[in-house]
Chains A and B, each alone.
Chain A
């Protein structure tokens, strides 16, 4: 038993952290909110250069052949930065799905561009019509009627929907499920989409840990800086205890996410239950931290001017995406009761 990341895994995290610190400041996220995504496009290019975007692609396909576990820490950093765009769908889900389920032509056309950041992938699972980041994607991979389809986004109809987190660029997608888009039929495509769904839940949980950590960092800093009654508000026990509670929620969610990553990477028997625990705890922690962060920021936190709102709204959206707590709790319940 050794429950810690390797030095290589931590090094990759540090690289991503530095890139995002340098290139993905809150004003870059805010620009996407205001309809100016150019800055984020540049961040994606830099991330591609570090190899992170293509890390889950096999080495033959120009990637690093890395596992769900390897992807966790980079994903956590993207949550910390509130990086806009379909990173979960492209890096954690889409590339391996395309590689395993795409036809030769589809792989030829999309794999390398996805790994280099030139093509952004979004996924629509069976019955899912509203897709995050559809507004800025290049390729839609969809499951319809038990079959898989790779549809260039320009050939699908994307009707914008408005997310409370404007940087999620939601769209309702429709396309003609015709043979030209069909993915491989000689593989168990349903099983592939099921696996993809687990990956999406796990990757989202990893981002949520980063989202929590950022809100907590912002709030601890605010509590140290903001003075009332002649001293920092963070010296007040009522404030301290809220922040201690927030830290506890976050830190007890973290190992569940890491363990789920290991279970997925090693194809452990209990991987699904582990993913559910990860998603529940990371989502609930993020919502809890958001609430405490807002309360401690006070009125300034209740404005759009304060950056906090972008992380709070990300926390709300991601905690419900790819299975909310009720959905995953039911999966756990079926397993243990």
Chain B
């Protein structure tokens, strides 16, 4: 056991920090979940990519710097420490790319990865359907075989930022004879093609962060199938594991939030009481617990183990921690908590209420926490499915 960062890791941290401090926007960008904000975020993504920071753990040929998992965690810590913008390329870089690295063809990786990481081509996920949320395997969208490819039809929903994205990925039924998770195929498809209608949906916080996608006989070439036809479930599960686990929410984000909460506490401590003070301490400690839990997991991964169903524990922990931390911040702010973004009197620009509403989505997306608890109890503890 050696819990010091190595000289190489420390040098990497200094390099990240120097670049981020010099280049990260001084003032927060408008929300990346609005049309204007999305465009502003993409400019930042271009700058990140051009300096080699967009996807540090990727191979150099795709624009990465072949960083180790620990170096990636260090990058994330520095990224959130300086308060750099949220990553609107996230659904591509952190969710689709791991799938492409595992199942994609050479041609697909060559064509897709660099534009994805630079934000030149942006990606939304298209998992849920109106009647297939937690029960994803009950999805109804279909793909029909045609010359040279497939025709996709159906409806997807809750697609994050799809109203502004170029492409999406999701599962479609290719074998109508098969049921549930058999006979599904993993497709990438265009959002601006003939037969596609995208309708933005305003989220709880008012931003157009969601979208519904309607597909009517949308043509997709064979080259946009990931993995084998009818094997889409297996391919998709590789993505959901990264989504729940590390790559979606590294500890750096929560450590940074806890640090900002302590700063808020110092400004509002005359409103505090012993209960609130304890909650502030707990928020900081929880972030530490998540950080060290992750370091333990990443050590295992670095030594060749896969995290598997353990990633469900991460997801429950970080999502519920994030809600508690924001609740504590709002309790410190008191009645001014209702002053929203754009209101002159809003504390920290309304950042905490905005963050609170975003945090409330955590226990729902990427597989609800109820589903995660089923996974933990069945696949980690070995309890019977029925």
Contacts and interface: CB of A to CB of B under 8 A. Distances in A.
Interface in B311-330: 313, 316-317
B178 interface: no
Nearest to B282: A329
B386 A231 contact: yes
Task: Give the interface residue-count category, chain B.
Answer: 35 or more
Given A232-B384, A337-B262, A256 B1 contact: no
Contacts of B203: none
A259 interface: yes
A240 B376 CA distance: 8
A5 B376 CA distance: 24
A4 B300 contact: yes
Interface stretch (A11-19, A124-132, A243-251): A243-251
A74 to B, nearest CB: 15
A247 B313 contact: yes
A244 B278 CA distance: 25
A224 B281 contact: no
Contact of A220 (B70, B298, B382): B382
Interface string A1-12: 111111000000
Nearest to A281: B289
Interface stretch (B4-12, B100-108, B221-229, B331-339): B4-12
Contact of A224 (B293, B302, B380, B382): B382
B11 to A, nearest CB: 14
Contacts, number: 127
Contact of B374 (A237, A258, A263, A266): A237
Contacts of B361: none
Q: Considering residues B280, B292, B378, which has the most beta carbons from chain A within 10 angstroms of its beta carbon?
A: B292
Given A69-B1, A256-B289, A329-B278, A336 B383 contact: no
Interface string A83-101: 0000000000000000000
B234 interface: no
A115 interface: no
Nearest to A251: B313
Given A252-B289, A277-B285, A333-B277, A4 B1 contact: yes
Interface string A61-84: 000000001000000000000000
Q: Considering residues A6, A256, A332, A337, which has the most beta carbons from chain B within 10 angstroms of its beta carbon?
A: A337
Nearest to B4: A1
A1 to B, nearest CB: 5
Interface in A187-245: 220, 223-224, 231-232, 234-235, 237, 239-241, 243-245
B385 interface: yes
B56 to A, nearest CB: 16
Nearest to B312: A244
Nearest to B69: A1
Nearest to B281: A333
Contacts of A243: 377, 381, 383
B31 interface: no
Given A2-B299, A235-B384, A248-B313, A240 B292 contact: no
B332 to A, nearest CB: 12
Given A241-B370, A244-B376, A337-B277, A3 B296 contact: yes
B interface, by DSSP: helix, strand, loop or mixed?
helix
A337 B267 CA distance: 12
Q: Considering residues A1, A5, A220, A245, which has the most beta carbons from chain B within 10 angstroms of its beta carbon?
A: A1
Contacts of A254: 296
A280 interface: yes
Contacts of B376: 244, 247-248
A1 B295 contact: yes
A262 interface: yes
Contacts of B5: 1
A152 interface: no
A255 interface: yes
Contact of A255 (B282, B289, B373, B374): B289
A253 interface: yes
Contacts of B374: 237, 240-241, 244
Given A235-B385, A336-B262, A1 B313 contact: no
A224 B299 contact: no
B265 interface: yes
A322 B260 CA distance: 32
Nearest to B316: A248
A3 B3 contact: yes
Nearest to A253: B289
Closest 4 A-B residue pairs measured CB to CB?
A240-B377, A244-B373, A244-B376, A234-B383
Interface of A: 1-6, 69, 220, 223-224, 231-232, 234-235, 237, 239-241, 243-245, 247-248, 251-256, 258-259, 262-263, 266, 277, 280-281, 329, 332-333, 336-337
Given A220-B383, A224-B382, 5 more contacts: A3-B299, A4-B303, A248-B317, A253-B289, A255-B295
7 contacts: A1-B2, A3-B1, A240-B374, A240-B383, A248-B313, A255-B292, A262-B3
